Amino acid sequence: MKRFKFSKKLIFLLLTLGVLCQGYGQTIQFSLHVSSTLDATNENDMAFETILSGSGLAEINLGDAGMGVFGITGDNDLDVIVTMTAPANLAHDGASMDVIPFTLKFAYANKGVNDVNQAIEVAGTSARFQIRQRESGPAGAPPTPPSAFHTPSQSTAYIYIYGSMNVGSIDAGSYSGNVDLSVIYD
């Protein structure tokens, strides 16, 4: 049985990460670029509470109010591959050589609702899953392509971004790094 497969990337999400370590609340604002038949929405920016020099481990766990949330809408009959690339450290934006160790993780929920209790945690940096989990198992024949006579059913899968940073004795200032989240049809 042959599988229907798209070979080009259809969507890129570029997450821009900016973290300030000057006694203000830390907010990670996401921006995204979408092309083709996948659509993405930023449901919630990732936001750490106030972090000061020497404050130690700061965590946002799966299900915490500060986790980042994205909605990925696409064809029910197709699978997606989601890959997250994140730096190991946030670097000082000025002359300081100080860094903040930084770890990100992600999970997804693909049952059609934004419910973190249905989330499946990803081990590693990439996951392949159905936009909408099929109750009947693997897909059957290749899906009918979109045309004037057929519009594929669509659903939304949710991506949850969470993680931690360990803030030692560092110079005050702005620390940043780029996080890329790529979503392609498979």
CA dist list (Å): 99 to 66, 161, 184: 22, 21, 32
Domain that holds residue 34: 11-137+150-185
In a domain, 86, yes or no: yes
Task: Read off the pTM.
Answer: 0.76
Q: Which two tokens stand for residue 183?
A: 């979503």
- Quote the percentage of the chain above a pLDDT of 90: 48
Q: Is residue 145 part of a domain?
A: no
pLDDT at 106: 97
- Asked, for residue 24, whether it belongs to a domain, the answer is yes
Q: pLDDT digits over 11-23, tens only?
A: 222 222 333 334 4
Q: Is residue 5 part of a domain?
A: no
What does the pLDDT read at residue 117? 97
CATH number (domain holding residue 74): 2.60.40
Asked whether residue 45 is domain-assigned, the answer is yes
- Domain membership of residue 143 (yes or no) is no
Q: Judge contact between 98 and 174, C-beta under 8 A.
A: no
- Cα 127 to chain centroid distance, Å, stands at 11
Instruction: Give the other-Cβ count within 10 Å of 148's Cβ.
Output: 5
- How far is it, in rounded angstroms, from Cα 54 to Cα 167? 6
pLDDT at residue 84 is higher than 90: yes
Predicted confidence (pLDDT) per residue in 122-153, tens digit = 999 999 999 988 776 666 667 777 778 877 88
Residues whose CB falls within 8 Å of the CB of residue 134, separated by 6 or more in sequence, listed in order: none
What is the greatest pairwise CA distance in the chain?
63
> Would 6 be classed as within a structural domain?
no
pLDDT value, residue 7? 30
φ/ψ of residue 118, rounded to 5: -100, 5
pLDDT tens digits, one per residue of 50-73: 788 899 999 999 999 999 999 999
| Number of structural domains in the chain | 1
In a domain, 4, yes or no: no
pLDDT higher than 60, residue 24: no
As a 3-state breakdown, the chain gives helix, strand, coil percent values, each rounded to 5, of 0, 50, 45
Dihedral-angle region of residue 90 (phi above 0 means left; psi in -120 to 50 means alpha; beta otherwise): beta
pLDDT of residue 98: 93
Mean pLDDT score of the chain? 80
